[in-house]
Amino acid sequence: MKRGDWMVLTCCLLLAGALALPKLWPAGHPEVFVNGNQITGSVTVNGVAIDAQSGRARVKSSPCRDKLCVRAGEISRPGQVIVCLPQKVVIEIRGSGGSGVDAQAY
Amino acid sequence: MKKYIAAILAVVILAGAAVLAYLVILAADGAFLDDTPKRYTGFAMGSVLEQTYWNQEHGQWEAERSERVARAVAQTEEELNAAREAPSELQQLMEASGGAFNPYLKALTALWNIDSKDGSPPRVPTEEEIQAALQTKQLDPGAYGKGMACDAAWKVLAEAGNDRLPLPKTLVNLGGNICALGITHEFRIALRDPKGGPNDTLGLFTFRGTRCISTSGSYEKYFEQGGKRYHHIFDPQTGRPAQRDPGLVSVTIVSQSGAIGDALSTACFVLGYEASLPLLGQYGADALFIYENGAVKNAGHARDYFKLQNNAYHWE
Map residue B165 onto helix, strand or coil: coil
Q: Would residue A1 count as lying in a domain?
A: no
Q: Would residue A90 count as lying in a domain?
A: yes
In the prediction, which pLDDT does B304 show? 97
Q: Which residues 273-312 of chain B have a CB within 8 Å of chain A?
A: none
Nearest CA in chain B to A66: B119
pLDDT band at B111 (very low <50, low <70, confident <90, very high): very high
Q: Would residue A10 count as lying in a domain?
A: no
From CA A59, how far away is CA B287, in angstroms rounded?
Answer: 35
How far CA B205 is from CA of B254, B256, B276, B287, B301, in Å, comes to 10, 15, 21, 12, 12
Q: Which residues of A touch B (CB under 8 A)?
A: 3, 6-7, 10-11, 14-15, 17-19, 22, 28, 33, 35-36, 65, 72, 75, 77, 80-83, 85, 88, 90, 92, 94, 96, 99-106
- Strand arrangement of the beta sheet that strand B286-291 belongs to: B38-44, B47-53, B170-174, B177-181, B211-217, B248-255, B286-291, B295-299, B314-315
| ipTM of this predicted structure | 0.80
pLDDT band at A24 (very low <50, low <70, confident <90, very high): low
In the prediction, which pLDDT does A28 show? 61
pLDDT tens profile B39-94: 888 999 989 999 998 876 656 778 888 999 999 999 999 999 999 999 999 999 99
From CA A91, how far away is CA B153, in angstroms rounded?
Answer: 23
Q: Would residue A50 count as lying in a domain?
A: yes
The answer to whether the Cβ–Cβ distance between A105 and B192 falls below 8 Å is yes
Listed in sequence order, the residues at least 6 apart from A1 whose beta carbon sits closer than 8 Å to its beta carbon are: none
From CA B103, how far away is CA B114, in angstroms rounded?
Answer: 17
Which of A14, A82, A83 shows the shortest C-beta gap to B18?
A14
Ranking A92-101, B135-144, B240-249 by mean pLDDT, the lowest is A92-101
Listed in sequence order, the residues at least 6 apart from B167 whose beta carbon sits closer than 8 Å to its beta carbon are: B157, B158, B160, B161, B181, B182, B183
User: Are residues B168 and B53 in contact, defined by beta-carbon separation less than 8 angstroms?
Assistant: yes
Q: Would residue A105 count as lying in a domain?
A: no
Cα B47 off chain centre by: 13
How far CA A23 is from CA of A16, A26, A27, B13, B254, in Å, comes to 12, 8, 9, 25, 34
Q: Would residue A5 count as lying in a domain?
A: no
The answer to whether the Cβ–Cβ distance between A102 and B171 falls below 8 Å is yes
Listed in sequence order, the residues at least 6 apart from B271 whose beta carbon sits closer than 8 Å to its beta carbon are: B97, B98, B100, B244, B245, B279
Q: Would residue A74 count as lying in a domain?
A: yes
In the prediction, which pLDDT does B260 show? 97
User: Are residues A57 and A74 in contact, defined by beta-carbon separation less than 8 angstroms?
Assistant: yes
Q: What is the mean pLDDT of chain B?
A: 89
From CA B100, how far away is CA B36, in angstroms rounded?
Answer: 42
Averaged pLDDT, A69-98 = 84
**Half-sphere exposure (Cβ direction) of B56: Cα atoms closer than 13 Å:** 23
Q: Which residues of chain A neighbour B4 with C-beta distances below 8 Å? A: 3
User: How many domains is chain A built from?
Assistant: 1
Nearest CA in chain B to A86: B46
pLDDT tens profile B165-194: 566 789 999 999 999 988 788 999 999 999
The answer to whether the Cβ–Cβ distance between B189 and A104 falls below 8 Å is yes
Q: Would residue A11 count as lying in a domain?
A: no
In the prediction, which pLDDT does B59 show? 64
CATH topology of domain B38-85+141-315: T-fold (3.10.520)
In the prediction, which pLDDT does A94 show? 84
In the prediction, which pLDDT does B238 show? 96
Structural domain range at position A84? 31-94
- Domain ranges in chain B are 1-32, 38-85+141-315
CATH of the domain at A40: 2.60.320.10
- Over 60: is that where the pLDDT of B215 sits? yes
Cα B124 off chain centre by: 30
